[in-house]
Amino acid sequence: MPRRLIVLAALAGLAGAMWGDAAARAEPPTRECRVVDTAAARSFATLAAAVDAADRDAVLEVSGICRGFSRIDRSLSIVGTGPHGRSVLAGDGGGVLDIAGEPGSVTVSLENLVVTGAETSDLHGGGIHVTSSLVLDDTTVAANRTSPIGGGINNFGWVTMNGRSRVVGNWSQTHGGGVFNAGTFTMNDVSLIAGNSSTVGGGGVFNTGAFVMNGASMIAGNSARRGGGFHDFGGTLSMKGGSAITGNRADLGGGVQNHSGSVRVSDGAVMTANSAIGGGGLYNDEGSLALGGRSQVSGNRADVGADVFSFSGTVTIDGAARVSDTHRVDAGGDRDA
């Protein structure tokens, strides 16, 4: 196995366990909530009160643990103070944040925060519900739970993960243990979606929108019945740069299940060390799959189609891509690529 794949396989094991560390760090510090509006020079005992009083584009500095639900309908920056894990936004019998407004009308940035402890049973999802725009910088969304969709983040707008942002250890009863995306979602830098699970589809991500992985971003150590790492249902997935989907598991599509969507893996992106009954790396069903640009889909495990299983749809593999094992039902069986 090439050295890079060995390293990624090792990282997958670490990433799958990292959610436990992150969840442990997400345990609320024993300090009271304090939110300071830096421009107004006022302090508040809850985030909701600070948000209600804030002007557009205000900067709110958070320390301690702030419990309860906050609806944000204006552009704000919310910044945790001190070491990561010491500024916590925690659920109190419901969700944590609702980034409200028409798409593009509101942009909220969260920096150096932990969002945790949501327990919900409605379609707004678990930790964060987004209909406008959200930017995560070095922020962890961990240990949130929901009975319908989107345990960590439920996105119908725009979400961008930057720096060392993580979505880890979340759970959904149906789809999208970590993320349910029906909008536009971008992972940059070394952002991570790991250790999430769902009962049905998309342990890490369930996607009906547009999803892009850049840089060294990673989806690792997630599990579901279909699409352990990523379940694409009529949406688009673009993997570029050094991004990786690794160490995930499912019955179908350990790394990715693509149903009626479009998946493109290029520019050195990697799928490895995923496992399933069918399609260890990727299971394609009525979708389109394009592998090119020095991409690698290898080192995965399955009973049939260790790396790629295509039940129907189109598969394009250019000469620069590396795929160790494929099985195409619509092409009459196995083909080595």
Q: Per residue in 189-245, pLDDT tens?
A: 999 999 999 999 999 999 999 999 999 999 999 999 999 999 999 999 999 999 999
Give domain status of residue 80, yes or no.
no
Buried b (16+ CB within 10 A) or exposed e, 176-197: bbbbbbbbbbbbbbbbbbbbbb
Distance CA 272, CA 325 (A): 12
Confidence of residue 123 (pLDDT cuts 50, 70, 90): confident
* Calpha distance 326→278 (Å, rounded): 11
Q: Is the pLDDT of residue 2 over 90?
A: no
In a domain, 312, yes or no: yes
pLDDT for residue 18 is more than 70: no
Which pLDDT band holds residue 124 (cuts at 50, 70, 90)? confident
Rounded to whole angstroms, the Cα distance separating 152 from 139 reads: 12
Give residue-wise pLDDT tens across range 297-325.
Answer: 999 999 999 999 999 999 999 878 999 88
E strand segments, 192-294: 192-194, 197-198, 205-207, 210-213, 218-220, 230-233, 236-239, 244-246, 256-259, 262-265, 270-272, 275-278, 282-291
| Length of the chain counted residue by residue | 337
The string of pLDDT tens digits covering residues 267-293 is 999 999 999 999 999 999 999 999 998
CA distance 124 to 181: 12
CA-wise closest residue to 75 among 132, 159, 25, 29: 132
State how far the Cα of 337 lies from the Cα of 326, in Å rounded to an integer. 7
How far apart CA 140 and CA 18 sit, in angstroms, is 12
**CB atoms < 10 A from the CB of 103, how many?**
14
Q: Check pLDDT > 60 for residue 101.
A: yes
242-265 burial string, b = 16+ CB within 10 Å, else e?
bbbbbbbbbbbbbbbbbbebbbbb
Q: How many domains does the chain have?
A: 1
pLDDT bracket for residue 85 (50, 70, 90): confident
Per-residue pLDDT band at 3 (split at 50, 70, 90): very low
- Residue 10, in any domain of the structure: yes
What's the whole-model pTM score? 0.91
pLDDT of residue 23: 46
pLDDT at 105: 93
Residue 133 scores a pLDDT above 50 = yes
The pLDDT value given to residue 331: 43
In the structure, what pLDDT confidence band is assigned to residue 130 with cuts at 50, 70 and 90? very high
Does residue 219 belong to any structural domain of this protein? yes
CA atoms of 130 and 119, how far apart (whole Å): 17
> Is residue 45, in this structure, part of any structural domain at all?
no
Domain of residue 321: give its range.
3-32+95-335
Specify if 67 maps to a domain: no
Examine residue 59 and state whether it is found in any structural domain, yes or no: no
User: Which residue from 237, 240, 238, 191 is spatially nearest to 217, judged by alpha carbons?
Assistant: 191
- pLDDT at residue 12, as a whole number: 53
CB 18 within 8 A of CB 194: yes
pLDDT at 7 (0 to 100): 44
CA angle 111, 116, 118 (to 5 degrees): 130
Q: Are 183 and 154 in contact (CB under 8 A)?
A: no
Q: Residue 214: its pLDDT value, please?
A: 98
Residue 236 is assigned to a structural domain of this protein: yes
